[in-house]
Amino acid sequence: MDCKDCQPLIPCYVDQELSEAQCGPLRQHLMDCQDCRKSLAGQKSLERWFASPAAGEAEVPTGFARRVARRAFAGDLGRTTEAGPGAQELQPVSSTEGNETPIYSFVLWTTAAAAGLLLVVSGLLFQVRLGSGDTLHADGKAPSVEKLLERADNLADPAFPGPAGAEDGSALEDMSDVSTKKAGEEPLQPAEH
C-alpha cells in the first residue's frame, strides 16, 4: 500500500469502519510513513472537541410531554407534516436542499407563470396565422392578382403552349376562380382579343 491508497482510508480507519483485511496493510503503511501518520493524527484531533459531556445536556420545559400528547390527540400534526419522514420514508438531504429562499420560490413561480403565458400567446398567434373559415386571404407569399391575370392572358392566347385543358378553357376557369376569390372581386372573364 502506498500513500495514495492509504489517505482515503484514514478517516474510515479513525471511525473504525474498515474491515480487518483493510486495516492490516494500512497499519503496516502507517508504521513506515510519517506523512500518513500526521494525517491520521490530524483526523483524530477532532475527537476532543466532541467529547465534552456538556454537549449532551439539555433542559426539558416542565409539562412538555403533556402538552405534546394533548396537541397530538387534538389532531395537531406539527408544522412539518408534509412529506414527513418516517423511518421508512426518509427524505434524503441532498446538496440542493435548503436552497429554497422566498426569493428563489418567487423567481421560480414567476418564471413558470411567464412560460405559461408565452405558451398561451403562442397558441393564439398560431391560430391567427392559420386562419379559418371559407374565405382565403392574400398574404405576401401568394401570387398577386396582376400575376394571375397575366397567366390567364397567356392561357387564353392560342399561341401559348399551355397545359392540357387550356384548350377547352377549363384551366382558365379554375384560374379565374382562384384569382377572383383572392382579390375578392367578380369572377374573371377570359381576356378578349
CA dist., res. 3 & res. 28, Å (int): 12
- The reply on whether position 3 binds another protein by CB under 8 A is no
- The reply on whether position 56 binds another protein by CB under 8 A is yes
Q: How far is the CB of 40 from another protein (least distance, A)?
A: 10
Q: How far is the CB of 13 from another protein (least distance, A)?
A: 11
- The reply on whether position 65 binds another protein by CB under 8 A is yes
Out of 21, 31, 32, 93, the only residue in the binding site for another protein (CB under 8 A) is: 93
User: Binding marks (x or -) toward another protein, 117..156, rule CB under 8 A?
Assistant: ----------------------------------------
Of 58 and 159, CB closest to another protein = 58
Closest CA to 40 of 49, 51, 31: 31
Out of 2, 20, 32, 97, the only residue in the binding site for another protein (CB under 8 A) is: 97
Of 81 and 132, CB closest to another protein = 81
Of 85 and 165, CB closest to another protein = 85
Query: What's phi and psi for 71, nearest 5 deg?
Result: -65, -40
- The reply on whether position 62 binds another protein by CB under 8 A is no
**What is the contact surface with another protein in residues (CB under 8 A)?**
11-12, 15, 17, 38-39, 41-43, 45-61, 64-73, 76-81, 84-101
